[in-house]
Chains A and B, each alone.
Chain A
Amino acid sequence: MASTSTLSRDEQVKALQKKEARRRRIPLLPALLFTIVVTQTPFAFSLYFGFLKWRGNTPAPREWIGFKNYTDAFQNMFFREAAWVSILMTVSAVLLSVILGTLIALLLDRKFFGQGFVRTLIITPFLVMPVVAGLVWKNQMFSATFGVINWVINIFGFESREWVSEFPLWTIVVVLVWQWTPFMMLIMLAGLQGQSSSVLEAAKVDGASASATFFQITLPHLRPYLELGVLLGSIYLIQVYDHIFTITGGGPGSTNIPFFVNQRSFGAAFAYGSASAYSILVVIAAILIANFGLRVLSGLLEGEEA
């Protein structure tokens, strides 16, 4: 039998390991291939379209124009404005919902009458369809005529206001925070419940004040959960479209990058070439942000190396 193999023992082991490695990869392949095909193909097309002069609403032939779409993009004032709105909207919504979510999680992480019920109430906004959230807030909460907010502030003697047209960006942020605070609260609640009670009791026995316990034990323990919340929140909130669509329709000062790029292609403009160039710029920005986000994630996964 030994004569059948001309390979050394080492080589045999290596070949076996290779085979084993390949076998282990098999269950991964369907998901990986599916993701690559569905998510990467469109960008390959965008990359090509971005160099074309191509308008969707005229029969004029497509024309290769090099980087012109890109140089135009950088000179477009509205694009820069949209980038600013995107940053403002994402950062404020993520920060506010993380802070509020943490505070509410602390409030709910104690035994009290109706604890589970109150948690159920607070979770609900996260489950609401974004289109519905936008429509309901716009027409029933913010509405200038019969809106609940005006009705309430009138009681306290304040004048009614046109919330959506006066504060287009901030009305959207309010709705985003309303929907994402529950999500952050869920993550923080899981973090709080994962805290070791023996450490907390030791702190109590040692006579640590409540604030010292919070800042020196609870907050450091919550850090990875906070990072996770910021990461997931940013991923979803930077893509916001539905709320803008339903609340302001992209009115002054509320058009973010996704809304802007969409309008270049499917809105009135039909500027397919130029819209594709914008898409590629957005993708580059996204890659830069993702790079940063993944470094955060890498910190979260630390210690699992082995």
Chain B
Amino acid sequence: MSSKGNTGPVVGQRTFGGYLLSLLAWLVGLLFFFPVFYMALSGFKTEADANADPSLIFDPTMEQFNKVTADKPGLLDAAEAFANSAWIVAISTILCMALAIPAAYALSIKPIGKWKDVLFFFISTKFLPIVAAILPLWLIADYLDLRNTRLLLIILYTAMNLPLAVWMLRSFFAEVPKELIEAAQIDGASLRSQITSVIMPIVAPGIAATALLCVIFAWNEFYLAIQLNTSGASTVPIWVNSAVEFQGQFLAQLSAAATLATLPVVIAGWLAQKRMIRGLAMGAIK
């Protein structure tokens, strides 16, 4: 009971009820994970095994993974979709952080007047349905020759993630003790050294968590991509969807493609989950 972080001891650990709750937690965990596990598993099946009653025992094969990653002249192939996604996600996330970090600074460390109104404006743009903007976006992109380019999705994903990034980062910056900055100022530290040696070390984990969330949302985005980028600079979600559209119901193949598409973000999320817990709420509430 005395260990840190274990603050909700409703039932003791070593009682019968305690074991029951632990068992329940495990069951819930396995239940939530099962669809992902089954998807990955089916990727190693033959089509005959996949299109049969569910079974966990079969002869695993790499056949489907080889098929979905093979070159497909004239169609969107895996290498192309992954390259497009990687570039778009990386650059839009960097751009988003480059815009959001100074903005968050201006809204917290040295808050401007009416910082709350500005913050609300950012958040309010997230309430605007993207679908209500799609027709003008399509026409503008077409006019500027941006359709089916990486640049278009980079711009749009940056705008899509910017409000959330500003909001989260502002809360992390707000956690920097004012006394620390004042002390640095009295010691005659320049603005640059205040930022690099006082503020950055404190907010770095928050920046990482925020960037990760931007990566997740950008990597998984489908709507804008399928409306604007179907015949060039198409991303991974479009590639997965095309695995169904062009090849009919090939379950094993679909599973293999879906597994590959999901893997990068799932692994990143697993590695950064503790940071995310802190980042998502602890900062956002403050």
Tell me the A residues contacting B by CB distance below 8 Å.
21, 24-28, 30-32, 34-35, 38-46, 49, 104, 106-115, 117-133, 135-137, 139-141, 145-148, 151, 178, 181-183, 186-197, 200, 210, 213-214, 218, 224-225, 228, 235, 238-239, 241-242, 245-246, 257-259, 261-262, 265-266, 272, 275-276, 278-280, 282-283, 286-287, 289-290, 293-294, 297-298, 300-301, 304
Contacts and interface: CB of A to CB of B under 8 A. Distances in A.
24 contacts: A28-B107, A28-B112, A34-B99, A39-B125, A42-B137, A43-B133, A45-B135, A45-B140, A106-B10, A108-B25, A110-B8, A115-B25, A123-B269, A128-B262, A128-B265, A132-B262, A136-B39, A148-B38, A190-B280, A193-B7, A200-B9, A279-B131, A287-B127, A301-B116
B122 interface: yes
Contacts of B216: 127
Contacts of B134: 262, 265-266
A104 B128 CA distance: 31
A221 to B, nearest CB: 10
Contacts of A242: 222-223, 237
A181 B6 CA distance: 21
A38 B51 CA distance: 46
B83 interface: no
A258 B136 contact: no
B33 A186 contact: no
B251 A139 contact: yes
A166 to B, nearest CB: 20
A25 B112 contact: yes
A280 B140 CA distance: 18
A110 B162 contact: no
A190 B130 CA distance: 30
Nearest to B216: A127
Interface in B1-23: 3-11, 13, 18, 21-22
Nearest to B21: A107
Interface stretch (B59-67, B71-79, B182-190, B271-279): B271-279
Interface of B: 3-11, 13, 18, 21-22, 24-26, 28-30, 32-36, 38-39, 42, 50-54, 99-100, 102-103, 105-107, 110-113, 116, 118-140, 155-156, 158-159, 162-163, 166, 174, 216, 219-220, 222-223, 227, 236-237, 240-241, 244, 249, 251, 254-255, 258, 261-262, 265-266, 268-270, 273, 276-278, 280-282, 284-286
B273 A46 contact: no
B95 to A, nearest CB: 9
Contacts of B240: 129, 131-132, 135
Contact of A261 (B122, B131, B136, B280): B131
Contact of A257 (B28, B129, B265): B129
A28 B118 contact: yes
B135 A121 contact: no
B280 A186 contact: yes
B49 to A, nearest CB: 10
A127 B103 contact: no
Given A39-B133, A125-B35, A146 B122 contact: no
A15 B80 CA distance: 56
A255 to B, nearest CB: 12
B282 A127 contact: no
B105 to A, nearest CB: 5
Nearest to A285: B129
A246 B241 contact: yes
Contact of A129 (B11, B135, B220): B220
